[in-house]
C-alpha cells in the first residue's frame, strides 16, 4: 500500500478542507443543536458539496456520478465528519445508497432515478435494520409479496438514516422467510408513489442526521422497482454493510482528529500556575496518546478502503477498522473533554459534541462486539453465530 496520496488527492483534501473551514465549520455547532436537518436544508448542503464529489462519489461517470475511488471517499469524509458529523451522515447515506442503485441491473429504473439523486434534487437511504433485526441481517421480517404488477410491503424498519427526508428508500425485504438469505430482495420505494409512515427518533449524537422508524402497511410498490432479486438482495446488503463499517471508521477518525485539533489549540492558550497547560507533562501524555490512537485508526481505515479499491471483499479489515476506530474515537474525545476541564462540558466548545458523535458510531452497522466476532470467524474459520 502506498501511504502517499496522489497530487490530485492532496489537492482534493486541501480544497475541501478550506471550503469546510470557511463555510461549514462556523455554523456547525449552532445548526447541529437544532436537531435533524430539514429536507430543503439537506438538499442545499448537498448542492454546495456536490462540486467536490460528495454526491454520487462512487457512482460511475457514465451514470452522472463522480466516479471517484474509495480512498477519495475516505479523504472527503474524514474532512466532513470532523467538521460536522451530522451533515456528513446525510451526505454519506445519500451518496452510498445512490451507488447501490447504480449497481442494479434495472437500467430503466437507474435512468429514471439517478439523475435527480446525483443533482441533489432528491435524497435517498437504505432500510435494513428492524425492531427485531439488528446485527443478524439475515433474519429480515419485512415482507414483500408479489400481487399482480406490484409488491405489497409490510413491516417496520428502525434506525433508518435519512428516513424522514428521503424521496427514495432501498428496502431490504423477504419474499419467503423459509428460504432465509435466499428469500431476501431489494426494492426501491418512491415516497410519492408508494407512501409510508416515518417517525423521527431522537438520539444523543449526530443530532442533525435524521434517523427514523419507517412503517410499511400494505405499501404498493411497482414490480419494475425491483433492484435486486431474492438471494442477490442479501449479498448486496452484506457488501453494503462492509462499506458502511469502513464509513463509520472514517467518520470516527474525522471526529477524533477534530478533537485533537481543538485540544491542541486550547492547551496552547490556557494558562495555569504561571504557564500554559500544554507544558504540563500529563497534558502532553494525553495529547500523545490521542494522536497515537488516531494515527492507528487512520491507517487501519485507509487500508480497508484501499482493499475495496482493489476489488477485495475486505470483510476482516473493515471490521477491524470499525471496531478499533470507533472505540478509539470515544477514548480520544473523552480525553479532549478532560484536557478542556470544565469548559469541555460546555456547549461553548465543540468537544462535548465530538464526544457525543463518537459514542454513536460504536453501535450502527454492527456493534464493536459483532465486529470482533466477525474477525474471529475470519481468522479461525469458526463461527460464533448460529
Show me where the domains of the chain are located. 7-118, 124-229, 234-380
The CA distances from residue 21 to 26, 84, 106, in Å, are 7, 11, 40
Does residue 2 have a pLDDT over 80?
Answer: no
Please state the CATH superfamily assignment of the domain spanning residues 7-118 in this structure: Acyl-CoA dehydrogenase/oxidase, N-terminal domain (1.10.540.10)
pLDDT above 80 for 134 = no
Q: Is a pLDDT exceeding 90 seen at residue 232?
A: no
- Average pLDDT of the segment spanning 300-328: 97
| 327: three-class secondary structure by DSSP | helix
Class of domain 124-229: mainly beta
Q: Specify the residue for cell string 439475515.
A: 138
Element spanning 219, H or E: strand 211-222
Cell matching residue 237: 446488503
Find the mean pLDDT for residues 258-263: 98
pLDDT category at 1 given cuts 50, 70, 90 is low
With H, G, I as helix, E, B as strand and everything else as coil, classify residue 213.
strand
The reported pLDDT for the residue numbered 205 is 98
Buried b / exposed e across 252-269, counting CB within 10 Å, b at 16+? bbbbbbbbbebbeebbee
Q: Which stretches within the chain are classed as H helix? A: 7-19, 25-33, 39-49, 70-83, 85-102, 107-118, 232-267, 281-309, 315-340, 351-360, 368-380
Structurally, what CATH architecture does the domain formed by 234-380 represent? Up-down Bundle (1.20)
Query: Taking Cα atoms as reference points, which of 210, 182, 132, 150 lies closest to residue 142?
Result: 132
| DSSP string for residues in 132-176 | TBSS-GGG---EEEEETTEEEEEEEEEEEETTTT-SEEEEEEES-
pLDDT over 90 at 137, yes or no? no
User: Which residue matches cell numbers 478550506?
Assistant: 18
Cβ atoms within 10 Å, residue 217: 12
Residues of the chain above pLDDT 70, percent = 99
pTM equals 0.96
pLDDT over 80 at 135, yes or no: no
Report whether pLDDT(34) > 70: yes
| Band of residue 100 on the pLDDT scale cut at 50, 70, 90 | very high
- 179-231 pLDDT, tens digit per residue, is 988 999 999 999 999 999 999 999 999 999 999 999 999 999 999 999 999 98
- Using the predicted structure, report yes or no on whether residue 237 has a pLDDT greater than 90: no
**Mean pLDDT of the 333-356 span:** 98
pLDDT of 330 over the 80 cut:
yes
Amino acid at each position: 500500500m502506498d501511504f502517499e496520496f496522489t497530487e490530485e488527492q492532496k489537492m482534493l483534501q486541501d480544497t475541501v478542507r478550506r471550503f469546510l473551514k470557511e463555510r461549514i465549520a462556523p455554523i456547525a455547532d449552532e445548526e447541529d443543536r437544532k436537531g435533524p436537518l430539514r429536507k430543503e436544508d439537506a438538499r442545499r448542503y448537498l448542492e454546495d458539496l456536490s462540486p467536490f464529489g460528495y454526491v454520487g462519489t462512487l457512482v460511475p461517470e457514465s451514470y452522472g456520478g463522480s466516479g471517484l475511488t474509495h480512498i477519495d471517499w475516505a479523504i472527503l469524509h474524514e474532512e466532513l465528519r470532523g467538521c460536522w458529523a451530522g451533515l456528513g451522515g446525510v451526505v454519506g447515506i445519500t451518496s452510498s445508497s445512490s451507488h447501490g442503485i447504480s449497481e442494479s441491473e434495472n437500467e430503466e429504473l437507474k435512468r429514471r432515478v439517478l439523475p435527480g439523486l446525483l443533482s441533489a434534487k432528491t435524497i435517498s437511504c437504505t432500510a435494513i435494520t428492524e425492531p427485531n433485526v439488528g446485527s443478524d441481517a439475515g433474519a429480515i421480517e419485512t415482507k414483500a409479496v408479489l400481487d399482480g404488477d406490484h409488491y405489497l410491503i409490510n413491516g417496520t424498519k428502525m434506525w433508518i438514516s435519512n428516513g424522514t427526508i428521503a424521496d427514495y428508500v432501498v428496502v431490504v425485504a423477504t419474499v419467503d422467510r423459509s428460504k432465509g438469505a435466499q428469500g431476501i430482495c431489494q426494492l426501491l420505494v418512491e415516497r410519492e408513489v408508494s407512501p409510508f409512515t416515518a417517525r423521527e427518533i431522537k438520539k444523543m449524537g449526530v443530532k442533525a442526521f435524521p434517523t427514523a422508524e419507517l412503517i410499511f402497511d400494505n405499501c404498493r410498490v411497482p414490480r419494475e422497482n425491483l433492484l435486486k432479486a431474492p438471494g442477490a438482495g442479501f449479498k448486496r446488503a452484506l457488501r453494503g454493510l462492509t462499506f458502511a463499517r469502513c464509513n463509520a471508521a472514517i467518520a470516527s477518525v474525522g471526529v477524533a482528529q477534530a478533537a485533537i485539533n481543538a485540544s491542541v489549540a486550547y492547551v496552547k492558550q490556557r494558562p495555569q500556575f504561571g504557564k500554559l497547560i500544554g507544558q504540563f507533562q500529563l497534558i502532553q501524555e494525553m495529547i500523545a496518546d490521542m494522536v497515537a490512537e488516531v494515527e492507528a485508526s487512520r491507517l487501519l481505515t485507509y487500508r480497508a478502503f484501499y482493499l475495496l479499491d482493489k476489488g477485495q471483499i475486505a470483510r476482516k479489515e473493515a471490521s477491524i477498522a470499525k471496531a478499533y476506530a470507533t472505540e478509539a474515537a470515544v477514548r480520544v474525545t473523552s480525553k479532549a473533554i478532560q484536557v478542556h476541564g470544565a469548559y469541555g462540558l460546555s456547549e461553548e466548545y465543540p468537544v462535548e459534541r465530538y464526544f457525543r458523535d463518537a459514542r454513536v458510531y460504536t453501535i450502527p452497522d454492527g456493534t464493536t462486539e459483532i465486529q470482533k466476532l466477525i474477525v474471529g470467524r475470519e481468522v479461525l474459520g469458526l463461527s460464533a453465530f448460529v
